Structure 1
Amino acid sequence: MNLLVFALAPVLAIIVYIYLKDKYEKEPRRLLFYNFLFGAIVSIIITTVLYFVFNIILPLPDKYSIFQQFIKAFFVVGVTEEFSKYIIVRYYAQPKSDFNEPFDGIIYAVMVSMGFAATENISYVFQGGIQTAVLRAFTAVPAHATFAILMGYYMGKAKFSNNRILLNLTGLLLAILFHGAYDFFLFIDFVPGIGIGAFISLAIGIIVSRKAIKRHQERSNFKIF
């Protein structure tokens, strides 16, 4: 029970943080919950299937070179996980009438991503214990939220633009880029000191994400000037 609490605590903290940032027109809690649930179940299923397909199309040896780790980080993990979240936001959340301002792209993308992160985190924490829970609370879970904010920022713009396809794909590609960079530096930990690159990429992502949140807040359709 304690491990479950430790696994879910950072996820819930981020959900509350993003929910409070939606200042001007709150989303229906039921719809937020459904996005979280789809992220926790459907996203994981899509990811598992895509991993299986990638393993057939692009099998990698047990010991990876730096280039192979690059392929794994960006084109296997990054593409697979972010695409599985993107699909739900794009085809479930974005068409909803309640998705009625650009900030909604951020909040729905984060809900899907936190659902994914919850399932993933439970698995890792039950295997690795409290130390893993504490480490991931300040790394992997915020990273998933950061990738989602970057994706959601552009998907929020896309809903109200004539360039919907381009903006949606920009959000997806940006999430893949930051996700891939974060994982790549962790994957090549056999290079002394290189792991710091993961934290630098995460820090940059957080800074950009905060600006994205603020920008959509300022441009809310429901803001009273």
Structure 2
Amino acid sequence: MFTRLFVTRSGQERLLVPALVAFLLTLAVGFGVASYWSHRASSDEDRAAALASSKQFAAAEAIYVRLLHERPSVPLVLAFLDNHERAIADRIRRRLQGEAYDPIAEHAAGALLTDDALDEVLWRDLPPDITLVARFWRGVEADAVPRHVREQMLAGAKREPPVPWFNHLLAREAQQSGAPMEAAVYYEREGLTFPERAGDMDIALNLWMNAGAWEHVRDRLQDARVFAAAGPLTKYRFAVNERDWKGAALQLWLNWKQRWQGTGLLMSAVSALAWAFVCTRLGKLGERPRFRLPLYIVAFGLGVASVIPTMFLIAVEESRLRLIETGDMVRDILFFVFGVGLREEASKLLLFLPLVPILRKWGDRLDVLVAGAMVGLGFAAEENIDYIAQGAVHSGLARFLTANFLHMAMTGILATALFEFIEDGERHASNFLRTSLFVVGLHGAYDFFLSHEEMGGSFIAMAVFLFLTKPFLEAVDAARRRADKGISLLQAFVLAISVVTGVTFVYASGAMGPQQAAATMLQGLLGIAILLFFFVRELRAM
């Protein structure tokens, strides 16, 4: 019966049936687990935030309006206004770019409140103290804050103790107007006064570090209250600048402890297992299980650990080279290629090096390629935890379906070129250099397009993905030489896609509800269709 699931009576491989079975089983198990942990279900605020991050602004707005009526608060009114402004900006952007009419996207977008309806929510339904905050922030967004409103905000911010949120909002205004040092002072005051907003202290310290004011940061961190409020990543960045490697290692570990838990870890682990299954089929695990299974596990672990040198390089680039994303098109291209692409590929190669002696003694060309791919998968699995934490379900699906395999392909190709260079430097030096430039350039381009929707976003990034994975699949085909027994590579790939899509839908349903999750994921159907078409064509030829 199990064989019939994958092969027809005439001996042809099945794709649709096993894909549907895997998808439905994933949904059943996923929703079962979600039901068991129902006491951890997302709050309405979390659901609205997930909808907003996935560009379903009208649906998010409806939730915010209801919540403001039931239990008004400053965080809710700020999230409500930010969501509304983002929706308007997104629609203006799409109109200016002349995007084609997309009925699915338009239906998901829904209808926003008119200005009169929005003002009614703010001015008539909210308590006076929250109305003041709303008037101020509406004025900031319109670049027209009423004088009496600003005076009340400044007076409340200087009071002892200050009024909650006033310093935070003045800081946001100063930051938007290009006054980061003024903003840092406000952020610090908010973060010191209110422990629940200690994140403002991190913003303040990072603004000073971005400006090169390290002496000031050093002085501020001598204050026990400031040090206690600062987060581990901020302390890590400062420790790297101070060359305090022991302190940097400690802060990095504390940051990892915070991240490696909850939904993000579980979802990333399931996705990684699905793609690891593809890797085992690529690497013919069944032919040499005693050698290859430990090799693949260690390679995956090294890939996870490759985030450590990446974090170090990020701190160096930001503190020493001022290499950060700015919004300027040309500078961002340089940042994503020579910042993101170079540091991530260099870090993964560095952690691949410990495997080289083992591979030289006992491995073959296929082992090198797949061990490199597993290092890339380990890096992607750790990186995915951050993407889930950001809550952008629409981009999260694209990354789970593409970024995992992308890192596998990039590191597999680079690891093979590095291995050949180590074996015969004189013969393979030029090929290693060409391959490195090729992979780093495409890696940077992929991240650049994902971060710039105005340049084509995920659809152009998909083209980069396809362009890079083709040589990887060709290298796999050449290294494998002949097919092995069991399910085919194509079937393994389709199963992985089905499981990852199912897990993503379960996660999205918990974050925003099944209907909105389906609407969000439908917007990515074209990308998934292109992906499947490409792999079906390539893998059928192998």
Query: TM-score, normalised on structure 1?
Result: 0.82
* Cα deviation code 1:91-114 (max 9, x no counterpart): 201121455211222111111111
Distance 1:181 1:202 in 2: 10
Within the alignment, does 1:93 sit opposite 2:355 as a pair? yes
Q: How does 1:67-216 map to 2 (within 5 A)?
A: 67-89=330-352, 91-96=353-358, 97-98=360-361, 100-128=363-391, 133-158=396-421, 160-162=423-425, 163=427, 165-191=429-455, 193=456, 195-216=458-479
Deviation, structure 1 residue 3? 4.4
Distance 1:198 1:70 in 2: 13
Gaps of 5+ in 2: 1-261, 483-542
Distance 1:79 1:171 in 2: 12
Gaps of 5+ in 1: 220-225
Distance 1:73 1:141 in 2: 18
CA contact (8 A) 1:36 1:114 kept: yes
Deviation, structure 1 residue 218? 2.5
CA contact (8 A) 2:450 2:461 kept: yes
Q: 1:29 aligns with which of 255, 270, 293?
A: 293
CA contact (8 A) 1:4 1:122 kept: yes
CA contact (8 A) 1:39 1:111 kept: yes
CA contact (8 A) 1:85 1:113 kept: yes
Distance 1:38 1:47 in 2: 13
Distance 1:79 1:106 in 2: 20
2:185 match: none
Q: CA 1:60–1:47 in structure 2 vs 1: closer, same or farther (change >3 Å)?
A: closer
CA contact (8 A) 2:366 2:479 kept: yes
CA contact (8 A) 2:337 2:445 kept: yes
Deviation, structure 1 residue 183? 1.3
Q: CA 1:99–1:76 in structure 2 vs 1: closer, same or farther (change >3 Å)?
A: farther
Deviation, structure 1 residue 197? 1.9
Q: CA 1:160–1:63 in structure 2 vs 1: closer, same or farther (change >3 Å)?
A: closer
Distance 1:210 1:167 in 2: 18
* Cα deviation code 1:28-64 (max 9, x no counterpart): 32232222112112x1110000011111332146632
Deviation, structure 1 residue 14? 1.9
Deviation, structure 1 residue 164? 5.2
Question: Matched residues, percent identical?
Answer: 25
Query: TM-score, normalised on structure 2?
Result: 0.37
- Structure scoring higher RCO (CA < 8 A, sep ≥ 6) equals 1
2:320 match: 57
Distance 2:447 2:394 in 1: 19
Which structure has the greater CA radius of gyration? 2
1:222 match: none
Distance 2:362 2:346 in 1: 20
Q: 1:38 aligns with which of 284, 299, 302?
A: 302
Q: 1:20 aligns with which of 277, 281, 285?
A: 281
SS of the residue 1:151 aligns to: helix
Deviation, structure 1 residue 136? 2.0
Within the alignment, does 1:9 sit opposite 2:270 as a pair? yes
CA contact (8 A) 1:38 1:88 kept: yes
